[in-house]
Amino acid sequence: MPQLKAKSLEMRTPQVTKTAVLVIGGAEDKVHGREILRTFFGRAGASNGYITIIPSASREPAIIGGRYTRIFEEMGAKKVEILDIRERDQCESAETKASLEACSGVFLTGGDQLRLCGVLADTPAMEIIRQRVRAGQLTLAGTSAGAAVMGHHMIAGGGSGETPKRSLVDMATGLGFIPEVIVDQHFHNRNRMGRLISAIAAHPDRLGIGIDEDTCAMFERDGWLQAMGKGSVTIVDPTEVTHTNEPHVGASEPLTVHNLRLHILSHGDRFHLYQRTVLPAVHRISS
Amino acid sequence: MPQLKAKSLEMRTPQVTKTAVLVIGGAEDKVHGREILRTFFGRAGASNGYITIIPSASREPAIIGGRYTRIFEEMGAKKVEILDIRERDQCESAETKASLEACSGVFLTGGDQLRLCGVLADTPAMEIIRQRVRAGQLTLAGTSAGAAVMGHHMIAGGGSGETPKRSLVDMATGLGFIPEVIVDQHFHNRNRMGRLISAIAAHPDRLGIGIDEDTCAMFERDGWLQAMGKGSVTIVDPTEVTHTNEPHVGASEPLTVHNLRLHILSHGDRFHLYQRTVLPAVHRISS
């Protein structure tokens, strides 16, 4: 039975953990199945994992950091620590650098994305995370504000209930872990389609990714992202746009955008960031 | 100067009014420029126009009917009357038929689209309107509930702030003046993208048209529609959809829809209902 023998061998050989970037739409399940957090935990090394939580976006870093610490400890992580960076100079400390050089997972909590960028952008700490993510040494997750910072361009705020227009969305510069995308979170929950379309009209060289609550877009290093969780991941792809009046109209004038491509992905669906191809779910995502 | 002479002759020759169907997203300007209502007035014959107002969707038909009557009288219509159909048998009366056979414009007010369909659907009155619109003898306008009834499938109600899914939208049968479309109104104003996508996922042989407040999609008889007014007309075109999980998932499970085409049209932009082509505004719409 050669197949059975091969299978048996494979099961006894320790697998190298496949790193990923998990972009979570906020309000992920922290109590029941914890599917998204469990997937992050698995991709960050599972029981061999060393998870560093960065609650810098939050006004209550001790509370929110403590909550995630308990979750990952309950799951069985080898080490969990909170890196509560409040000032930019903490990003240069030996302690910060040591944690980020050694950990196998970094988790960015919710809060205010401008605060998170304000302390982390263009610091040595940030550079360590970026390089180790790129090298496949580190799994990164961000939820809510921690998700918003993933692109080069970042939605800092905005409205809903209005016609798409430039003034509907406030843009800033994000941390650029996945520079190709503009992320919006709590997406359908807070009716943010208009503001994501407005953001993409202004930056048609990017891809709009709207992520619902308790939902995740998990980016693999080969360019595929997978939708995971309770809601949907919305892709607004401007590659084929034939006409827009942006930036020739005033900030409060209605936008024209012709030939956007729109995908609504649910659990297990996949999309390729560079090929722009979309595949239906074939099986559940391994965690 | 042959061109000048031709121009001069043309100006003196009375033009045959080009009829149209105006689908208005609700809350159209009734006080200032009244651009949309003025366009309807022009297309319904202007000072030669005989306008019949049907306020059957409303709980306050006298008030709303009176308001539109004053507007069209102020504009200079030859005749304006209110046809307050409350019961289906009124649709067979000689008075109703006479008005609908003779008028040059019919205006359907806002209110409750189910009430409007309840009294009008499959009646002789409805058949007269339908035939005369098709024959180019009558300009039809509907605002809010009066817009919702235009398609064969009608959005009767639904929610926002949720992931697209079947249970997000209640469908019913509309009056079918433009059977190819599913209309949603107060569109960005009430954050209805999710419910329109849900409706289109269930009816991928139709075209989704989301119309903002004080905004109109004006359908010409040659298949072109033009956006007009303050907001945008959103087109959700499922022609190229490659995959959807509808109807194989439960009503409250998130929908998958791959390869929707999305157009955001603003004032003057055009879209062809059958060719599915989109053209940017070149000049303002003549009224």
**Which percentage of chain B shows pLDDT scores above 90?**
91
Q: Give yes or no for residue B30 having a pLDDT over 70.
A: yes
């999980």: which residue's tokens? B245
DSSP label of B188: T
Kindly provide the residue ranges of all beta strands, DSSP E only, lying in B212-265, ordered along the sequence.
215-219, 224-229, 233-237, 243-244, 257-265
- Stretch (H or E) spanning B118: helix B113-120
A7 domain-assigned: no
Q: State the pLDDT confidence band at A15, using cuts at 50, 70 and 90.
A: low
- Tokens of residue A267, six digits: 């659990």
pLDDT for A286:
41
Tell me the chain B residues in contact with residue A160 when contact means C-beta distances shorter than 8 Å. 191
Tell me the chain A residues in contact with residue B259 when contact means C-beta distances shorter than 8 Å. 261, 263, 278
pLDDT for B284:
39
Q: State the pLDDT confidence band at B16, using cuts at 50, 70 and 90.
A: low
- Mean pLDDT, to the nearest integer, of A76-80? 98
Q: Give the distance from residue A194's alpha carbon to the nearest chain B alpha carbon, in angstroms.
A: 7
Domain region containing A129: 18-279
B89 domain-assigned: yes
Q: What is the pLDDT of residues B123-182, one digit of tens each?
A: 999 999 999 999 999 999 999 999 999 999 999 999 999 999 999 999 999 999 999 999
Q: In chain B, which residues touch A (CB < 8 A)?
A: 160-164, 188-191, 193-194, 197, 201, 212, 215, 230-232, 236, 242-243, 245, 253-267, 269, 278, 280-281
Say how many domains are in chain A.
1
CA dist A255 and A269 (Å) reads 30
Tell me the chain B residues in contact with residue A237 when contact means C-beta distances shorter than 8 Å. none
Q: Give the distance from residue A189's alpha carbon to the nearest chain B alpha carbon, in angstroms.
A: 4
Catalytic pick from A28, A186, A246, A267? A186
Question: What's the CATH number where A134 sits?
Answer: 3.40.50.880
ipTM metric: 0.91
More confident residue, A236 or B5: A236
Burial level of B93, CB count in 10 A (0-12/13-18/19+)?
A: middle
B49 domain-assigned: yes
- Mean pLDDT, to the nearest integer, of A225-254? 95
Q: Give yes or no for residue A223 having a pLDDT over 50.
A: yes
In the sheet with A50-54, reading across from the earlier edge strand, the strands are A79-82, A50-54, A105-108, A139-143, A21-24, A215-219, A224-229, A270-272, A278-279
Q: State the pLDDT confidence band at A248, using cuts at 50, 70 and 90.
A: confident
B215 domain-assigned: yes
pLDDT for A9:
47
Strands B153-158 and B169-173: antiparallel
CA distances from A48 to A42, A74, A79, A105 (A): 9, 13, 8, 11
Q: Which positions ≥6 away from A8 have C-beta within 8 Å?
A: none
Q: Known catalytic residues of B?
A: 144, 162, 186
Whether B188 sits inside 8 A of A164 (CB atoms) is yes
A73 belongs to the catalytic site? no
Kindly provide the residue ranges of all beta strands, DSSP E only, lying in chain A, ordered along the sequence.
21-24, 50-54, 79-82, 105-108, 139-143, 153-158, 169-173, 181-185, 207-211, 215-219, 224-229, 233-237, 243-244, 257-265, 270-272, 278-279
Which of B161, B163, B281 is the closest to A190 by Cβ? Answer: B161
- Tokens of residue A261, six digits: 């491509």
Q: What is the pLDDT of residues A191-222, one digit of tens each?
A: 999 999 999 999 999 999 999 999 999 999 99
CA dist A241 and A73 (Å) reads 47
Whether A257 sits inside 8 A of B263 (CB atoms) is yes
What residues form DSSP beta bridges with A154? A172
DSSP label of A199: H
Q: What is the pLDDT of residues A52-75, one digit of tens each?
A: 999 999 999 999 999 999 999 999
Whether A263 sits inside 8 A of B257 (CB atoms) is yes
pLDDT for B127:
97
Q: Give yes or no for residue A2 having a pLDDT over 80.
A: no
Q: Give the distance from residue A256's alpha carbon to the nearest chain B alpha carbon, in angstroms.
A: 5
B285 domain-assigned: no
Whether A191 sits inside 8 A of B191 (CB atoms) is yes
Q: What is the pLDDT of residues B209-263, one digit of tens each?
A: 999 999 999 999 999 999 999 999 999 999 999 999 988 899 999 999 999 999 9
A287 domain-assigned: no
Q: State the pLDDT confidence band at A280, using cuts at 50, 70 and 90.
A: very high
A9 domain-assigned: no
A10 domain-assigned: no
pLDDT for B2:
45
Q: State the pLDDT confidence band at B15, using cuts at 50, 70 and 90.
A: low
pLDDT for A247:
86
Q: State the pLDDT confidence band at B208, using cuts at 50, 70 and 90.
A: very high
